[in-house]
Amino acid sequence: MEQENQKTPHKRRVRYKGTHPRKFEEKYKEHNPEKYADTIEKVISKGSTPAGMHLSICVKEILDFLQIQPGQKGLDATLGYGGHTRKMLECLHGQGHIYALDVDPIEIVKTRQRLEQAGYGEEILTIMQENFANIGEIGEQYGPFDFMLADLGVSSMQIDNPERGFSYKLDGPLDLRLNPEKGVSAAERLRELSKDELEGMLVENSDEPYAAQIAAETTKTFRSGKKIETTTDLRETIERALAFLPENAEKKEICKKTCQRTFQALRIDVNSEFEVLEAFLESLPQVLSPGGRVAILTFHSGEDRLVKKAFNRYYKEGIFSDISKEVIRPSAEECFRNGRAKSTKMRWAIKA
């Protein structure tokens, strides 16, 4: 009898509360797409992304351009959930090889397992925890590559997990690091920045029109002895900074967009995203085979400007034989099924 009392009580799995679970961990069906396909399709059909998943963007457009042939060698510079990688692997029909990079130590383990279970082992796929800024070294060792893809967006798995701190909508630690094992968190970075530095960063990284007000309110918050340690703390600081706006129907939308831009600017800063992209673009021609093709997906104007500028330069220098003259955007149907696709721009280039 005494032994029975000492047994660990059985814990039930966290289940949906009502018809619309709010918490990330409660959405157990969405975390198991192979088991609950009907639930996944329902969520996607409503224009939402299932928790723990990432919907690959512009898959058809990418594959149509890359024209992958069996026996070729490719590089996915941003593995993420592995959706693009899997589609590219299918084009190889078991002949050739793809190398895939990601800095996220949490998601790379899950994606490796997911692709192994789909039948893609080390004989055709090599996954490395590497920053794509280092493609020069990777190209020397494994290249040159016949096709390449870089999807510069943050994965939905990262955005939707409150522990990662990527979304102003979810309360969690203000982290924003793609690799939480390196560098400083966004909360630490905020404490380091002066008012002028924060204002400049918000303008440079996200063209934030209320940068001066946000920088002033952030400085005031710290001087009063308060902390900005969570996503909610930062959102409330932004809302106080915009308190001067008239109370009308537009204010809510302005607050939402300002939060999005501020979190984006901080994420870019914390992960040195512009510097990483510049290093990637600098090494890009050296790692492509003659006639090699590269497609890049960007998600805000700062990224797109850097890609466009580099592609134009290489085209004028004769390094690239052809480049996309206009950006390619996802279809209206794709944007409906995946709201996060709306800001996507795709550019491509072919090496001479």
Look at residue 319 and tell me whether its pLDDT is greater than 80: yes
Burial class (CB in 10 A: 0-12, 13-18, 19+), 317: exposed
Look at residue 22 and tell me whether its pLDDT is greater than 60: no
Strand order in the sheet with 288-298: 125-128, 97-101, 73-76, 145-151, 288-298, 345-351, 320-323
Share in percent of the chain as helix, strand, coil (round to 5): 50, 15, 40
What topology is assigned to 59-156+274-351 in CATH?
Rossmann fold (3.40.50)
What is the rounded average pLDDT of the residues 89-111? 91
CB 303, CB 159: distance < 8 Å: no
Q: Confidence band (pLDDT; 50, 70, 90) for 181?
A: confident
Q: What percent of the chain has pLDDT over 90?
A: 56
**Which token pair is 269?**
């800063």
What is the rounded average pLDDT of the residues 283-310? 93
Q: How confident is the model at residue 90, as a pLDDT?
A: 94
CATH class of the domain whose range is 180-270: mainly alpha
Q: How confident is the model at residue 294, as a pLDDT?
A: 96
CATH 1.10.150 domain extents, the chain? 180-270
Q: How confident is the model at residue 347, as a pLDDT?
A: 95
Lowest mean pLDDT among 44-53, 110-119, 144-153, 243-252: 44-53
Q: How confident is the model at residue 251, as a pLDDT?
A: 87
Q: Confidence band (pLDDT; 50, 70, 90) for 104?
A: confident
Look at residue 28 and tell me whether its pLDDT is greater than 60: no
Whole-prediction pTM value?
0.80
What is the rounded average pLDDT of the residues 323-345? 85
Model confidence over 116-165: pLDDT tens digits? Answer: 998 999 999 999 999 999 999 999 999 899 999 999 877 766 777 777 77
CATH 3.40.50.150 domain extents, the chain? 59-156+274-351
CB 111, CB 53: distance < 8 Å: no
What is the rounded average pLDDT of the residues 229-247? 91
Look at residue 45 and tell me whether its pLDDT is greater than 60: no
Q: What is the C-alpha separation between 234 and 190, in angstroms, rounded? A: 10
Beta strand 345-351 pairing with 288-298 = antiparallel
Model confidence over 185-235: pLDDT tens digits? Answer: 999 999 999 999 999 999 999 899 999 999 999 999 999 999 999 999 999
Q: How confident is the model at residue 346, as a pLDDT?
A: 93
Q: How confident is the model at residue 105, as a pLDDT?
A: 86
Q: How confident is the model at residue 333, as a pLDDT?
A: 85
